[in-house]
Amino acid sequence: MKAIALAFGILILFLGFVLVAASQSVVEVPPQPKQTKADEVISPNAMGSESLTVNPNLTAGQVFKLDYAFRNFPQNYPEDYIIIYTNLTDPLGNLTQRYIIMIPNPQNPYQWVKAPGGDWNETSVANLTGIYRITVFPEVSVMNLTRLTVWVSEIIEGKTLYPYSYMFYVSIPVVGAGVVLSAYGVLSKTRRAKRVRREK
């Protein structure tokens, strides 16, 4: 009985220490990029609009990106490119004009794609906090806009997680039980068999 109690005590102690070690396991969650919609406008016309304007409320230092969709793409256009202009007006009224260049997609004559060139990549950084006015318009009137969206990019800070911390509380009674059984196995007295005298 003494040996059995000691063996079980050591086994339970080992299990308790395993639970303690597992409770200290760490999972590092790296920083994650996140995009939030700051403002969006949909053309009220079924065929789209020649220009669209949004008024996002931005904070200084925020990175924002424009995303827009078109209704029609001109076919048999005499030029091999189209310029898309963007007017950016900051909260103080300072106007900056940007543009990108679009060319026909060789694999799809109904689609135009962004080409190298232009003076920006539709991404910018807000230099002031406040309401901005952003207007996008193509140089070709038949290339109507159906949607204009402003996305704000941010980085969610990483975290240090302890997903198995609850095991520490489970390990306390387990270790306690192991100590009690081990102590019982070590300290308990061994019973000796009584000698029986036989009468001659």
Select the more confidently predicted residue: 98 or 46.
98
77-132 pLDDT, tens digit each: 667 788 889 999 999 999 999 998 888 777 876 677 788 777 777 888 999 999 99
Measured CA to CA, the distance from residue 73 to residue 142 in angstroms comes to: 7
Give the pLDDT of residue 97: 93
Per the CB < 8 A criterion, the answer to whether 197 and 70 are in contact is no
Q: Where are the domains of the chain?
A: 2-27+160-187, 31-156
Select the more confidently predicted residue: 144 or 54.
54
Give the pLDDT of residue 139: 82
Mean pLDDT over all residues of the chain?
80
Give the pLDDT of residue 195: 58
Tokens of 95: 């106007």
Q: What percent of the chain has pLDDT over 90?
A: 26
Q: Which residue do the tokens 């060319």 mark?
A: 103
Largest interatomic CA distance in the chain: 133
140-162 pLDDT, tens digit each: 766 788 899 999 988 777 777 77
Specify the CATH number of the domain 31-156. 2.60.120
Measured CA to CA, the distance from residue 19 to residue 91 in angstroms comes to: 58
pTM passes above 0.75: no
Per the CB < 8 A criterion, the answer to whether 137 and 145 are in contact is yes
159-180 pLDDT, tens digit each: 777 777 777 777 778 777 767 7
